[in-house]
Structure 1
Amino acid sequence: MTADATDTADLTDAGLIPAPLTYTPGTGAGPTLGPGAAFDAAPGTEGTARWLRAVLGLDTDGDGLPVRLALDSALAGGPEAYRLTVTADGVLIVGGGPAGVFWGAQTLRQLAGPDAYRRAPLTGRAWHLPAVTVEDAPRFAWRGFMLDVSRHFLPKDGVLRQLDLLAAHKLNVLHFHLTDDQGWRIEIPRHPELTATGAWRPRSRYGHRDSPLWDERPHGGYYTQDDLREIVAYAAERHITVVPEIELPGHSQAAITAYPWLGNPGYGAPGVWTDWGISPHVLAPTDEVLRFYEEVLSDVLEIFPSPFIHIGGDECPKDQWRTSPAAQERIAREGLGDEDGLQAWFIRHFDRWLADRGRRLIGWDEILEGGTLAGGDSGGGLSAGAAVSSWRGWAGGIAAAEAGHDVVMCPEQHVYLDHRQADGPDEPMPVGWVRTLRDVYAFEPVPPALAGRDAARHVIGTQANLWTELIDDQGRADYQTWPRLCALAEVAWSAAGRRSWPDFERRMTHAHYARLDALGVAYRPPGGPHPWQRRPMPAGLSGQLGRPLDGQPG
């Protein structure tokens, strides 16, 4: 039985999110899984066995229902594919690799019911499972969520919680936005002022950048290197890759405040930015600045094993470079032509620096500007391994894919989760365009211009982005993220021909909202916000509805 729009009754009953490739009910009554289940975990699956024992409260081995975890590299669909078989005789999860076994275990947890998502099993609770076979594999290799912790800091425990939520939806990339104008969040011992000074701001604008109101509380925080190692290890146990982002050469005001010589002469120490928008303070194009960021990135590489390192590269104003003798001398000496060429010079330098160390640069689609697409490895352009996060629409992603570069599609018009979810005054401090749950579900990562062409293979995936200028606590982050990230998870995982909005809506209502409730997620209800989720829009902002928030990609 296929999980398509024409035959979905059994899948709706199961309420699986994201929809699998096939869902085939078995015969007879389903089994009951309880304490004392007998685990048989093949080598390479032990981590999933530990996780499954913990979340289902199966603390002791016994002679109960057997749960077998196995690997089969020949399984169709690759290392993230799985086959889950539940019969009266037991449970068998076979994965194309360890990740596939883990995703199969996530599906088993969904089949166990909403209470399987509580922090501890309820007294005497056993898990009544349907007899079923599920065969499944993801559509895209990159299924991501970008979390901005620079505008508003999220303590480590909140990040670990986000990783659990991503894993529950078979999302496998956390794009971790660690530095920006409003705060530097990663400890670099060789340069202690980055966190001693750059991680803290005296106040924050309350609302959109045109708001007349201020939150006068100081704000800040950062992650120690051991905090980040813990986050990376926790993610790895859940088969999630953490892709760190260190912004350059723009969005660097916090770093310049910590070490003013990183900026252009004559502009001093600007202070960690308290406002939103696009800061004019950008890095100076000097050898000393390059060496500084090489040292920063050396620490980043030691902490984060991700093949990709994100360097930002977006929204870099050129005014300070136009008046800087050092910048103009660099443009002339390197034959860069103009300030756009100078930005491309920054990007190319770190592209090659990362490639020399076996890593791949990824950046926002502005990294394509200034001639970076020309020449490839043999000329003056980006290396073949460089990739693009296409946020300003389709054009950058299409150009990159056509030039042979991998692309993560995340256009602001579709998957920016800080944008409001409905018209009307009840949405808390709204900004941007209306992007409903259905809008996100309708998003197609492969644009029509690439469909059916060889270049489409360079669309390696998609992600949703959460920028946090207006998101100052976990509850507000939950509200903006969920359930829209459930929709993005299905877009990223499920085959395009298997997606059905009416069926998705039924599965959410039938089962998945109850799972989110059990997880304690303060999501936006389908009928609109709870009274306690509303937040009045500051005076003077009524004319700002429908316009994006500057000072971020989007």
Structure 2
Amino acid sequence: MNKLFLCIFTLLLVKADLHAQVNVIPQPLEVTSPSKGTFSLSDKTPIIYKQKGLEKSAAFLNGYLSQFYGFSLKQGNIKATTGIYLKIGNKAEKVAGNYALEVKKEGIFITAATEEGVFYGIQTLIQLLDPTEKTVQIPFVLIKDEPRFQYRGMHLDVTRHFFPLAFVKKYIDYLALHKMNYFHWHLTDDQGWRIEIKKYPKLTELGSTRKGTITGFLPGTGNTNTPHGGFYTQDEIRELVKYASDRYITVIPEIEMPGHGSAALTAYSFLGCTGGPYKVQETWGVFDDVFCAGNEQTFAFLQGVIDEVIALFPAKYIHIGGDECPKTSWKKCPKCQQRMKDHQLKNEHELQSYFVQRMEKYVNSKGKSIIGWDEILEGGLAQNATVMSWNGEEGGIEAAKQKHDAIMTPGNYMYFDYAQTAKRDSLTMPGLTTLQKVYSYEPVPQHLPKELTKYILGAQANVWTEYMSSPAKVEYMIFPRMSALSEVLWSSKESRNWNAFEKRLKRQFDRYKLWGANYYPFFQTAKSEAK
């Protein structure tokens, strides 16, 4: 009996020691240790693969090692007695992105059914590297893993504040390191138009720059009176899309309509109901001037924009916004009122539905699908639309009931522009979204019938940048909440445990330091708030 107790106690100690060494976020599905020991990784270790496509995963690992550990590895179809072996197996995957990673004395073996799965195995391998040491010893371990949700997203608003391409690439790397696979790029709004459209050059000539920006919390305590602007050329966008694709991340562009159009109206005043004058907004909020729904030129313009957007982004989806569209100008506009009569529309909500459905049909005709914020449910949902639910979970639930796909992004859990602490430590939006709250989020609504849960594709966090004027502030607002979100979206519901996550987070903070990323000091602040 004593021997049995000793064996069990020893096994528990070994398992505890293993988990102490394997501080991976998001938590893998299975972690075991067939034998005890470590593998030494050095510049003499090659990355070995035969199949085409795996060079992208090898290159990502090499780039990481070179940047943070000071050495890189030979890669390719190399003959060697030991190394990092990458392989696409013959088994069909049950879940897109699954992989197996084994570390033993003969080498490191990453096997998956697809290139994407191998890439996720590389991300786990990176997390087995000690971020506080330059000598790399990796514990012997066997990991079998797969993602829970097919949509694991992060959003970035570049309209309220413009960020250079180099930072957007860095942001993409952060997503990759957290096994995220969708980047929602918010490119147009009232405060700036950020994408070059060759057919309409005034969009960037006039619409990309505002004359100033309010200071302090809305409605503001003053104005910088300093022009703020910037946009991405089509060549830069192609570069970014490829950069993301090499990391198995799909970029979804958002072109706002029918609301949030001040920048576009400033460039082309005929797009509005009144003809102007319009301006690129210097403050935040919702504005009455929107695209005119009764003007055929509006649709011709937006179709021209969509044509160029589709050529730049190979993603299945185009996000058309559809949120926060005041009906004030439509109610006063003779053209909009005539449109309602012609199509027997009962009210302006149905006019918005007409607008969205008409644009959806055009997008569908180009082989693409639309995503819209949950206001696109008003007046009737477009035929093939995916709903992004931000006003709570109701929009996602309603979409699923109508057998439409939904992506959950409720503001009280998924808005990373909200403060992280009740003792507000910087200028932010007025909401509060703590790290614990993000980690507690369950994307599948509790009361959704089981047969409808398949319509919940996953979830996404949104980063609105009214109060984020620098890359450092963006990093501060996303870390460590992005790490919590990654576990919500990747790991099984059953494996999620706050206490275990909090322990692993301490090592994640070491990674933030290694990356040179700014971050919110959760442990220090949480301790002071508990007093």
Structure 1 gaps of 5+ residues are: 1-6, 117-124, 373-381, 531-554
SS in structure 2 of the partner of residue 329 of structure 1: helix
Give the corresponding residue for 2:160.
Answer: 151
CA distance in 2, matches of 1:446, 1:482: 24
The superposition leaves residues 210-246 of structure 1 with CA deviations (integer Å, 9 ceiling, x where unpaired) of 2222222211100000110011000000000000000
Q: Is the 8 A contact 1:245 1:311 kept in 2?
A: yes
TM normalised by structure 2 equals 0.92
Q: Which residue of 196, 206, 211 corresponds with 2:220? A: 211
CA distance in 1, matches of 2:16, 2:292: 58
The answer to which of 29-38 and 337-346 deviates more is 29-38
Give the corresponding residue for 1:274.
Answer: 282
Q: Is 2:167 aligned against 1:164?
A: no
Q: Is 2:463 aligned against 1:454?
A: no
Q: Is 2:30 aligned against 1:22?
A: yes
CA distance in 1, matches of 2:358, 2:474: 35
CA distance in 2, matches of 1:361, 1:38: 44
The answer to which of 49-58 and 81-90 deviates more is 49-58
Give the corresponding residue for 2:400.
Answer: 401
Q: Is the 8 A contact 1:12 1:503 kept in 2?
A: no
CA separation of 1:332/1:79 partners in 2, compared to 1, >3 Å: closer, same or farther?
Answer: same
Q: Which residue of 99, 119, 123 corresponds with 1:102? A: 119
CA separation of 1:72/1:64 partners in 2, compared to 1, >3 Å: closer, same or farther?
Answer: closer
The answer to which of 293-302 and 7-16 deviates more is 7-16
CA distance in 1, matches of 2:431, 2:20: 31
The superposition leaves residues 435-470 of structure 1 with CA deviations (integer Å, 9 ceiling, x where unpaired) of 1111100011011121x5111110001000010111
CA distance in 2, matches of 1:37, 1:115: 21
Q: Which amino acid aligns with 1:436?
A: T
SS in structure 2 of the partner of residue 433 of structure 1: strand
Q: Is 2:524 aligned against 1:525?
A: no
- State the shift of 1:13 in Å: 2.9
Q: Is the 8 A contact 1:147 1:177 kept in 2?
A: yes
Q: Which residue of 277, 287, 305 corresponds with 1:296? A: 305
Give the corresponding residue for 1:337.
Answer: 346
- State the shift of 1:96 in Å: 2.0
The superposition leaves residues 284-325 of structure 1 with CA deviations (integer Å, 9 ceiling, x where unpaired) of 122111011111011110000010110000000000000000
- State the shift of 1:365 in Å: 0.2
Q: Is the 8 A contact 2:85 2:109 kept in 1?
A: yes
CA distance in 2, matches of 1:73, 1:401: 35
CA distance in 2, matches of 1:205, 1:47: 43
Q: Is 2:434 aligned against 1:420?
A: no
Higher helix share: 2
- State the shift of 1:8 in Å: 6.1
Give the corresponding residue for 1:58.
Answer: 72
Q: Is the 8 A contact 2:257 2:322 kept in 1?
A: yes
Q: Which amino acid aligns with 1:462?
A: A
CA distance in 2, matches of 1:46, 1:422: 42
Q: Which residue of 60, 68, 90 corresponds with 2:85? A: 68
Q: Is the 8 A contact 1:204 1:216 kept in 2?
A: yes
- State the shift of 1:126 in Å: 4.1
CA separation of 1:107/1:287 partners in 2, compared to 1, >3 Å: closer, same or farther?
Answer: same
- State the shift of 1:75 in Å: 5.1
The superposition leaves residues 106-128 of structure 1 with CA deviations (integer Å, 9 ceiling, x where unpaired) of 10011012159xxxxxxxx4421
The answer to which of 182-191 and 67-76 deviates more is 67-76
CA distance in 2, matches of 1:487, 1:160: 21
Q: Which amino acid aligns with 1:254?
A: A
Q: Is the 8 A contact 2:412 2:432 kept in 1?
A: no
Q: Is the 8 A contact 2:21 2:139 kept in 1?
A: no
Q: Is the 8 A contact 1:13 1:507 kept in 2?
A: no
CA distance in 2, matches of 1:481, 1:55: 21
The answer to which of 49-58 and 299-308 deviates more is 49-58
The answer to which of 182-191 and 49-58 deviates more is 49-58
CA distance in 1, matches of 2:161, 2:216: 13
Q: Which amino acid aligns with 1:203?
A: G
- State the shift of 1:207 in Å: 2.7
Structure 2 gaps of 5+ residues are: 1-14, 66-70, 527-531
Q: Which amino acid aligns with 1:60?
A: K
- State the shift of 1:526 in Å: 1.4
Give the corresponding residue for 2:8.
Answer: none
- State the shift of 1:429 in Å: 1.0
1:233-244 correspondence runs (5 A): 233-244=242-253
Q: Which amino acid aligns with 1:227?
A: E
1:314-393 correspondence runs (5 A): 314-372=323-381, 382-383=382-383, 385-393=384-392
SS in structure 2 of the partner of residue 302 of structure 1: helix
CA distance in 2, matches of 1:462, 1:527: 26
Q: Is 2:235 aligned against 1:226?
A: yes
Q: Is the 8 A contact 1:38 1:67 kept in 2?
A: yes
- State the shift of 1:76 in Å: 4.4
- State the shift of 1:434 in Å: 1.7
CA distance in 2, matches of 1:305, 1:403: 27
CA distance in 1, matches of 2:396, 2:269: 35
CA separation of 1:437/1:12 partners in 2, compared to 1, >3 Å: closer, same or farther?
Answer: farther
Give the corresponding residue for 2:101.
Answer: 84
The superposition leaves residues 37-58 of structure 1 with CA deviations (integer Å, 9 ceiling, x where unpaired) of 2332132312112222232233
Q: Which amino acid aligns with 1:23?
A: V
Q: Which amino acid aligns with 1:494?
A: S
SS in structure 2 of the partner of residue 388 of structure 1: strand
- State the shift of 1:431 in Å: 2.5
Q: Which residue of 428, 431, 443 corresponds with 1:430? A: 428
The superposition leaves residues 93-144 of structure 1 with CA deviations (integer Å, 9 ceiling, x where unpaired) of 011211100000010011012159xxxxxxxx44211100110000011100
Q: Is the 8 A contact 2:219 2:283 kept in 1?
A: no
Q: Which residue of 428, 438, 441 corresponds with 2:439? A: 441
CA separation of 1:112/1:281 partners in 2, compared to 1, >3 Å: closer, same or farther?
Answer: same
Q: Which residue of 251, 258, 274 corresponds with 1:249? A: 258
